Amino acid sequence: MNKATRIEMVERAFTLLDNKDTTRVDDIYLSPVASYTCTDWLAQEEAILFKDYPLLVAFSCDLPKAGDFITNDDMGAPLLVVRDRDGGINAFFNTCRHRGAKLASGCGRAQTGFSCPYHAWNYDFTGKLRAIPDQVSFPGVDKAEHGLVKLPVVEKYGMIWLCPTPGKDFDIDAQLGGLEQGLVEDLKAYGFADYHPYSQQRLHCKMNWKMMLDTFLEPYHFAPLHPTTVGPLLYHNLCLLDTYGQNLREAVIRKSIEKQRDQPKENWDIVPDSALVYLLFPNAGLVMQRDHVELWRSYPIPGKPDECIVQMDYYIPEPAETQSAKDHWERNMDLAVRTVLEEDIPGVEGIQAGLSSGANSHCTFGRNEPALIHFQREVARAIGRA
């Protein structure tokens, strides 16, 4: 985020605080309950949002060295992402070209390449098929034509996006709202390429995949739902919103911002006194918290609109080497995890049960929930249900 934006956002926050106001849109938004409960609706989301769009699959720091790989089974197909010896990133179906076995599982550092656990066909980090044991039994099988099936992948701003459909190339800057826009500028400035993975959690939740993101998209719930965790630290029902195409940046404001009122304006800075929530459409929520960043990704489970997989990754700017650094990050993470796992998720699972009951036909999003409205509207639009 550039300096002018850091100052302008503090100014906007003070104006809203002084007027006891928040960012509001012109009208309420009625969102059909079907978007959280209907299997047809979900099938369209899977077919479009999770097949045609670039999806954030990792941070660069998850794969720093040649041979570092991750796998992902949450996008409707087994996927493999690996860094090659030239420093490039490759993405493939994690599917052997012999009879389809999974080449790798979990994540780690492969030493020389990938040897299929089933019959040991061997591939290098660029997906090239190097060896077929007992090759004489495969007459006419050309190794050059049996490399792993590549997927479009882009590494930029310390982040890695892929599209799980072969040949579906994408322009990530256009998807982020355009090169000249603030979102790209923010991501560039954070320097995530130099961050370090600290911890991960994977959860199976009883809620629609969108609800995990919804919970980050309005501070209207802070005082009632988080009275003893983040509630006392953040202003209730106060947000700033900027949208970038289908994406958005929402700032919720820490009460500690008050100390900036006495400072000269050129020293104002929104980052230390807010939590900045970026929705990277369709399924990633990036939460910049002063000195660390949390990545929350949510994935639908086919045929189950009321369940999802949530993956949380916590990244820090320096490796945690000393005990006092470890204690600091543990304390920090404990607050984030307690808030989301013990308060947001049970609250949202309650919402899902309520919506699945059929009691309501729609959700009523208030004028004070503009980020939520933007997200729901963009999903509906993307699948042709606006």
DSSP state of 293: E
Could you say whether residue 116 binds ligand FES (CB under 6 A)?
yes
Tokens at 306, concatenated: 């009321």
Q: How far is CA 225 from the centre of its chain?
A: 23
Choose among ligand FES, Fe ion, none what residue 280 binds, the Cβ cut-off being 5 to 8 Å by kind: none
Q: Which residues pair with 161 in a beta bridge?
A: 56, 154
Q: Which is nearer to ligand FES, 146 or 377 (CB)?
A: 146
Which one of residues 101, 189, 193, 320 is an interface residue with ligand FES (CB under 6 A)? 101
Which one of residues 3, 99, 326, 362 is an interface residue with ligand FES (CB under 6 A)? 99
Q: Tell me how crowded residue 61 is: count the other CB atoms within 10 A of its CB.
A: 18
Could you say whether residue 98 binds ligand FES (CB under 6 A)?
yes
Interface segment toward Fe ion; rule CB under 5 A; list 79-87, 94-102, 344-352, 359-367: 344-352
Q: Which is nearer to Fe ion, 84 or 349 (CB)?
A: 349
Interface segment toward ligand FES; rule CB under 6 A; list 66-74, 75-83, 93-101, 247-255: 93-101
Interface segment toward ligand FES; rule CB under 6 A; list 77-85, 117-125, 200-208, 239-247: 117-125
User: What strands, in cross-sheet order, belong to the sheet with 234-244?
Assistant: 196-205, 304-316, 292-301, 284-289, 274-280, 247-254, 234-244
Choose among ligand FES, Fe ion, none what residue 360 binds, the Cβ cut-off being 5 to 8 Å by kind: none
Could you say whether residue 344 binds Fe ion (CB under 5 A)?
yes
Tokens at 90, concatenated: 């490759």
CB of 172 to ligand FES, least distance (A): 32
Q: Tell me how crowded residue 223 is: count the other CB atoms within 10 A of its CB.
A: 14
Interface segment toward Fe ion; rule CB under 5 A; list 49-57, 268-276, 283-291, 338-346: 338-346
Residue 57 carries which side chain, given as an amino acid letter? V
* CB-CB contact of 39 with 301 (8 Å): no
| CA atoms of 256 and 230, how far apart (whole Å) | 13
Interface segment toward ligand FES; rule CB under 6 A; list 2-10, 115-123, 184-192, 291-299: 115-123
Tokens at 346, concatenated: 């049970």
CB of 79 to ligand FES, least distance (A): 17
Q: Which residues pair with 155 in a beta bridge?
A: 160
Residue 343 carries which side chain, given as an amino acid letter? E
| CA atoms of 18 and 261, how far apart (whole Å) | 12
* CB-CB contact of 285 with 296 (8 Å): yes
CB of 370 to Fe ion, least distance (A): 17
Could you say whether residue 93 binds ligand FES (CB under 6 A)?
no
- Interacting residues with ligand FES (CB under 6 A): 96, 98-101, 116, 118-121
- Interacting residues with Fe ion (CB under 5 A): 344
